[in-house]
Amino acid sequence: MQQAVCAPKARVPDPSPDESLPFTVERATPAIGAYVGGIDLRDPLDEPAYLALRRLLIRYKVLFFRDQDITPAQHVALAQRFGELEVHPVFAHHPDHPELALFDKSGEKRGHENIFHSDVSWREVPSMGSILRCVECPRVGGDTIWVNMALAYDKLPEDVKTRIATFQAVHDLLPLFGKVLSPEQRASVRAQNPAVTHPVVRTHPESGEKILFVNEAFTTHFANYADTTAYRFGFDLKLAEMDLLQYLFRQAAAPEYQVRLKWQPNTIAFWDNRAAQHYAVQDYYPAVRRMMRATIIGDRPV
């Protein structure tokens, strides 16, 4: 079951032009992402460092940190600095820290995260962000791609923006995760995690940006398409709905909106789930790829 809902964070002040950051920042691509250096994430973040990282997260959507040999307890403490953490209802958990989801792939267990998605968009209160640490990975392969969905929305044709402005979409975890659960587990997970409805275009609570908030992993259909669309026959209605939804899904696949990270052990990625989607490239089987992720509870999309 979802943890208690956190109140949205107060809007973080914009940085002044002459702000002096306590670490280095190198932009990854024109669209999204930045590498942050000169910081040791084993140490608790003081207020200036916390505020600076939060501003950078909002600006760049995903932050990358190399050579961060943190313990699971330090991983949890870092994530908790940004908000309350969730416990995932399907993924394996760290034995001492249930807030840490474990991704342990090898020749015995192939990965299946190779689909564009926003973590836990199927929750009534989706996540604010995720912090993923690489424990072990192949020398080649196993990259992750992130997408700036604020930019994807901004570049949509104006007639599409007008059309989807009032649309709501249904998000559900079972179509993707149900295949790994027994019938009894499916019933239990469904009872605690019913399908939910979110705006197709959400507003970022801190930046005010408009974001395209549908993803092909968890968004199943529009909740109010028939209420807003004239049609002759039922098959026209359903096919047109699926065509539009697939068109919106495809925006995440544009390389112009993306950044791709080559993992190394002790690399950390911290991304804004409200504004970014990601895709774990499954090109490394049967090599070993082990990761840990903490997910920070966010706010209801509006």
**102 in any annotated domain:** yes
Alpha helix stretches (DSSP H) within the chain? 47-60, 72-80, 149-154, 158-164, 174-177, 183-192, 225-228, 234-250
Residue 25 phi/psi, 5-degree rounding, is -135, 125
Q: How far is CA 21 from CA 27, 118, 269, in A?
A: 14, 29, 19
Indicate which CATH number applies to the domain containing 94: 3.60.130.10
Residue 123 annotated as catalytic? no
Residue 171 annotated as catalytic? no
**187 in any annotated domain:** no
Q: Which of 117, 123, 133, 198 is catalytic?
A: 117
**140 in any annotated domain:** no
Give the pLDDT confidence of 148-198 residue by residue, as tens digits.
999 999 999 999 999 999 999 999 999 888 877 888 888 888 898 899 999
Q: Which of 55, 97, 202, 293 is catalytic?
A: 293
Q: Which domain holds residue 83?
A: 24-115+127-132+262-272+284-296
The tokens for 13 are 């002040």
Q: Residue 291: which of 33, 52, 119, 80 has the closest Cα?
A: 119
Domains in the chain: how many in total? 1
**39 in any annotated domain:** yes
**253 in any annotated domain:** no
**98 in any annotated domain:** yes
pLDDT band at 275, cuts 50/70/90? Answer: very high
User: Angle 97-102-105 (CA atoms, 0-180°, nearest 5)?
Assistant: 160
Residue 93 annotated as catalytic? no
Q: Which of 198, 278, 289, 299 is catalytic?
A: 278
Q: Which of 119, 172, 272, 299 is catalytic?
A: 119
**76 in any annotated domain:** yes
Residue 293 annotated as catalytic? yes
The tokens for 206 are 């801190």
**73 in any annotated domain:** yes
**pTM for the full predicted model:** 0.91
